[in-house]
Structure 1
Amino acid sequence: MLSLRGVHQVFPSARGDVPAVAGVDLEVRPGKALCLVGESGCGKTTTARMAAGLADPTAGSVLFRGRDITAMDKKERSGFRRAVQYIHQDPYASLNPVRTVYSTVSAGLRRHRMVADHREARRVTAELLERVDLTPAADFIDKYPHQMSGGQRQRVAIARALAMNPEVIIADESTSMLDVSIRVSLLNTLGRLRDDLGVGFLFITHDLAVAKYFAWEGEIAVMYLGKVVEHGPTPRVVNDPRHPYTRALISAVCEPDPDLARTKERIRLRSADIPDLTALPPGCDFHPRCPLYAPGECDTLRPPLVRGHDRLLACHVAGQG
């Protein structure tokens, strides 16, 4: 439904070009979740912005229903903008502070003439608020953002996205700024929307525990310095990580059970420093930090992302197993 084909994004800077995204291939399917995970600064948000049509790729293409979005005419582009919706990370910055919940949620409905009049707009807005568990809707519809909590604001942002009857929702760290209890409730709400409405999700997160919870029946793509290094079904990636970077991410997830925490494998990296994007190391980008580093191979040849029996993997050493 929504596909990224070899997308690159290079930003010019005073120190040289910054390759924020370097050849990423992803596909979002109806009713499925694809989680893009990785450290802050690895290119996840830039990839999400290109997928949403908010930024044009330097190279490569973004396809919606097989059609390159840069080649769409005005009518096709309008349909794409309605079908692909974006939920931002910060619920305090993503809502206009001088607009009520009704004004925010109904803006797209009125802009695209999806409602006939003010009365219908309020009715549809109230139904959307009920759908995202802001109940009773009458208590929220005329409130301003400063009168609500962070979790309530993020639900308003979700309602705004749902107003367009989207086929794809791109959620960019949409739960990272919320308390854990609210985070789980919001993930459950998004999960119901995925299952009941068949919405496809591109879910951006740095937390593999969240990815495991939300996309257990979907896929995880692990990103490092603008490249996908491991991509496969969530149970296989989480339960049997192959790339050393994926293993390090999983070992960093907090384990609430003290007995399991004591026996959990700890991955010790060779270095905590992330390479500069303007001066990437030769060979594999991860080799200066990699505990499986093999001299003469990892530091000279860049590993391609190749398909194994159950996943895509870019690693000289792990790929041999």
Structure 2
Amino acid sequence: MSALEKSPETAGRAPLMTLGGVSQVFHTKAGPIRAVDNINLSVNPGEVLCLVGESGSGKTTAARMAAGLARPSSGEVAFEGTDIWALKRDDFTNFRRSVQYVHQDPYASLNPTRTIQQTITAPLLKHGVVKSKKAAAERAVELLTKVDLTPAENYLSKYPHQLSGGQRQRVAVARALTLDPKLIIADESTSMLDVSIRISVLAMLGRLRDDLGVGFLFITHDLAIAKYFGWHGKTAVMYLGRIVEFGPTPKIINAPTHPYTRALIDAIPEPDPDLTKTKGRESLRSLEIPSLAHLPSGCTFHPRCPLFEDGLCDGAVPELVTIRSGQSAACHVVARDGVAALDDEARSDEPRA
């Protein structure tokens, strides 16, 4: 299964968002930086797609292109089958209403001079969702209640600096819901929160996903978070601008087929029992991440990869190919030898107790 193929449960639905052969190149004094390199992804209505990778993997750049905040150097970003950069101005505005972005830092993304009521009512009034300030205030109360800020009336007159990090992030989510989006792009939206707050915010997002049927492109560096939020969705793993593994989240977590994915799982602190059982026995050859300005030849993971073979891994760039049903990886060795190269064991597609 490639990153553009559909899982059986979504096979009858057209993709909501598609990134087809998308690349992003930044031109710097040090030379061209290929932050995203020819990736293919799709998100179906009501589906969760987790995009996972270390800092510098290109996941945020990919998210910004999906949101229409950055134009790709090549490739196509399509929403409901239409290239977003071919849309007329009014249609592009409608696209931006349908796709909302929740940033990593809730304080930086909220205007510190606006009250919470002003923050939420502004888009309602600007886009004509409601006809009066009174109706906007009532809708603000409804939205704050949806994100578990109750009683909502207690928050309307507050400013962002008067709220905790978790409360500010809930306000950011409430603002994203004002225009009834079809897709929410959450960019590391819980990474700055304490663990207990993080779980409650993720639970809230999961409830909104189920109740409203909104799709999610969920960006994270943490596979444990992807497991928690996107268990019934799909996960794509990025490394230095390329997708190196893709598949249903349970298969990515329980039986990874790319050595980089295994390295990410190894880096997760215990005591998650599912992830502990998946930990590999082989260590990385190097902890140093290559520079995007001077990428290694062939597979960009080969300087760190425990499966490295001279003349194979540092030759051609590996293609993302099906390794087993529903799961694909970009690894020369695994593509040739199968999962036996990883000394993998069969694992259930259901969470273990």
Classify the TM-score, shorter chain.
over 0.9
Cα distance in 2, alignment partners of residues 264 and 300 from structure 1: 28
The reply to whether residue 34 of structure 1 matches residue 49 of structure 2 is: yes
SS in 1 for 2:109: coil
Counterpart in the other structure of 1:100: 115
* 2:155 matched residue in structure 1: 140
Distance in 2 (alpha carbons) for counterparts of 1:92 and 1:3: 30
Instruction: For residue 181 of structure 2, give the secondary structure of its aligned residue in structure 1.
Output: coil
Q: Do residues 130 (structure 1) and 145 (structure 2) align?
A: yes
The answer to whether residue 178 in structure 2 is matched with residue 163 in structure 1 is yes
Q: Which residue of 2 aligns with 1:247?
A: 262
Structure 2 counterpart of 1:118, one-letter code? K
- Check conservation: 1:2, 1:29, Cα contact below 8 A: yes
Letter aligned with residue 61 of structure 2? T
C-alpha distance in structure 1 between counterparts of 2:270 and 2:229, whole Å: 18
Whichever residue aligns with residue 43 of structure 2, its letter is V
Match of 1:50 in 2: 65
* 2:331 corresponds to which of 283, 306, 315: 315
SS, match of residue 193 in structure 2:
coil
The residue number in structure 1 matching 2:225 is 210
Other-structure match for 1:64: 79
TM value normalised by structure 2: 0.88
1:174-195 deviation digits (Å, cap 9, x = unpaired)? 0000000110000011001111
Maintained 8 Å contact 1:247/1:267: no
**How much does 1:142 deviate?**
1.1
In structure 1, distance between residues paired with 2:66 and 2:129: 24
Q: CA deviation at 1:266?
A: 4.6
Whether 1:8 aligns to 2:48 is: no
Q: In the alignment, does 2:197 pair up with 1:197?
A: no
Q: 2:44, 2:215 within 8 Å by CA — same for their partners in 1?
A: yes
Number of the residue aligned with 2:321:
306
Counterpart position of 2:202? 187
1:2-42 deviations in Å (ceiling 9; x for gaps): 11011100001111000000011111111111000000011
Query: How many correspondences in the alignment?
Result: 320
Aligned: 1:223 with 2:238: yes
- Give the deviation of 1:263 after TM superposition: 9.9
Quote the Cα distance in structure 2 between the aligned partners of 1:310 and 1:240: 12
Is contact 2:23-2:75 (8 Å) kept?
Answer: yes
Alpha-carbon offset, residue 318 of structure 1 = 1.4
Give 1:262 shift.
10
2:304 match:
289
Equivalent position SS for 2:317: coil
Q: State the distance in 2 between where 1:16 and 1:264 align.
A: 38
Change (3 A) 1:257 1:184: closer
Runs of 4+ in structure 1 deviating by more than 2 angstroms, as ranges, are 260-267, 307-310
Corresponding letter in the other structure for 2:146: R
Q: Distance in 2 between matches of 1:231 and 1:106?
A: 39
Q: Distance in 2 between matches of 1:167 and 1:307?
A: 30
* In 2: Cα distance, 1:219 partner to 1:80 partner: 23
Contact 2:46–2:216 (Cα < 8 Å) also in 1:
yes
Report how far residue 256 of structure 1 moved.
2.2
Structure-2 change in CA distance of 1:257 and 1:154 (3 Å): closer
- Structure 1 length normalisation: TM-score? 0.97
Alpha carbons 2:255, 2:278 under 8 Å: kept: no
- Matching residue of 1:90: 105
Query: Any idea what SS the aligned residue of 1:312 has?
Result: strand
Give, in angstroms, the shift of residue 113 of structure 1: 0.7
Percent of counterpart pairs with the same letter? Answer: 61
Alpha carbons 2:102, 2:185 under 8 Å: kept: yes
Q: Of the candidates 81, 90, 98, which is equivalent to residue 96 of structure 2?
A: 81
| Structure 1 spans left out of the alignment, 5+ residues | none
Aligned partners of 1:35 and 1:219 also within 8 Å: yes
* Structure 2 unmatched runs, 5+: 1-15, 339-353
**Paired amino acid for 1:316:** H
Q: State which of 191, 198, 212 in structure 2 corresponds to 1:176.
A: 191
Of 102, 108, 115, the residue aligned with 2:130 is: 115
